[in-house]
Structure 1
């Protein structure tokens, strides 16, 4: 494939959004809309996209096109796990670009703000027997579970009701199990918060279990764009990695 030259120009280090990739066409359009939001907030900042798998451009191709320019890779992932700890750093190290890898987007208050906003859009209102299942992708990495639990805590503080993390794969409880546990506690007005960056199979499957309302994925919310730029700025305070 032909790769557009993105290499060194004067200005700040490029921001490379690193998306997982999905067979659902809505995912790519959502990520591109989020890129536009970031550009609106920071005019003049070079913003590029690279996928770990399934969609083009793939991250190695995006990094190759940057040449030896400086870049900050911001994972559009919501917790620590294999992609954040292994895949992305390895792809970065194999490129000629001078890279920094930012922290994943979660946990963070801005992520909780977005989850809260999506629930309100879906029709969330406080109820005496209310509760929320925070549906996430899942990972075998225990630090990923810690991050998701922290995000659930931040959302619970905003809503004033229990928020239980649940997972689409690789971890427990499942969404169905979390719903059952909440009902056993007398919670019968249960919403599902979608802790997914964009629409896709996992988000759709989790939402299908909703006994009341299911919020949309995070998408191109303004708070998500602000969070991406926050992670970018944080990463600029760390040394860049230069390929050997």
Structure 2
């Protein structure tokens, strides 16, 4: 039996977030109909990760791969997910649980974000007059914020934009409004906002509101884009294969 794929998202009080993540997991399940794919959340939404892992074990699985539906390696990836998995492993000795890397860093997410951005600007991305703000939630973990800045810097070089800037909804700066103003002040003829965010919610609403108020088109969240689906399946496949190799070598 293949390991169960347990996707875990952060969770939100906004029902749009859970519905969007559920649609993503439904698409993963549709593409791999023989795979047991389950959705879970860390907080604020149900079902919670510990309960889902209990169900996986109760249904006879001996292995599970937890795939964090997270775009950066910040607090939830470094602390919350490993903590929940460690507690579940101690409670479920018959279930071998491994955790994949977060989705961030997989090229499918970049492809998804650029596809959303192209739809928002309604034109080619190779535009030397374009300034792009890549908006994320923001983290107290500086390397997670730096990864967003590195990503938009790479896009800027690739497409020859006037400029690119990371911006954040909370915790750190610049804000979306500040980033848009800075790009315009530097000479960008037009500015658009891409979202480095998986699903809509209260904080993403702030990004959309600020971009709209500044007159900048804003791309949709990544949601169930094919690139995101591919990232989930690749993270699962790579982690499951690595776990199998370790068991064979032991």
Q: TM-score range by the shorter chain?
A: 0.7 to 0.9
Report SS of the residue matched to 1:72. Answer: strand
> How many aligned positions are there?
231
User: 4+ runs of 1 displaced by more than 4 Å?
Assistant: none
Runs of at least 5 residues in structure 2 that lack an aligned partner in the other structure: none
Match of 1:177 in 2: 178
Report SS of the residue matched to 2:104. Answer: coil
**What do residues 34-84 of structure 1 show as CA deviations (whole Å, max 9, x unaligned)?**
112111222211100110111000111111212263111111110101100
Give how far 1:158 is off. Answer: 5.0
Q: Does 1:46 align with 2:36?
A: yes
Deviates more, 1:119-128 or 1:139-148: 119-128
Distance between the aligned counterparts of 1:163 and 1:130, measured in 2? 9
| TM-score of the pair, normalised by structure 1 | 0.88
Distance between the aligned counterparts of 2:11 and 2:167, measured in 1? 22
Give how far 1:147 is off. Answer: 2.3
Distance between the aligned counterparts of 1:81 and 1:208, measured in 2? 25
Distance between the aligned counterparts of 1:149 and 1:47, measured in 2? 33
Query: Do the aligned residues in 1 keep the contact of 2:128 with 2:160 (CA within 8 Å)?
Result: no
| TM-score of the pair, normalised by structure 2 | 0.86
Gap change, CA 1:151 and 1:42, over 3 Å in 2: farther
RMSD, matched Cα:
1.9
Q: 2:230 aligns with which of 226, 238, 243?
A: 226
Runs of at least 5 residues in structure 1 that lack an aligned partner in the other structure: 1-10
Query: Do the aligned residues in 2 keep the contact of 1:137 with 1:168 (CA within 8 Å)?
Result: yes
Report SS of the residue matched to 1:53. Answer: coil
Match of 2:25 in 1: 35
Distance between the aligned counterparts of 2:237 and 2:44, measured in 1? 28
Q: 1:110 aligns with which of 101, 108, 111?
A: 108
Q: 2:85 aligns with which of 66, 88, 92?
A: 92
Match of 2:145 in 1: 145
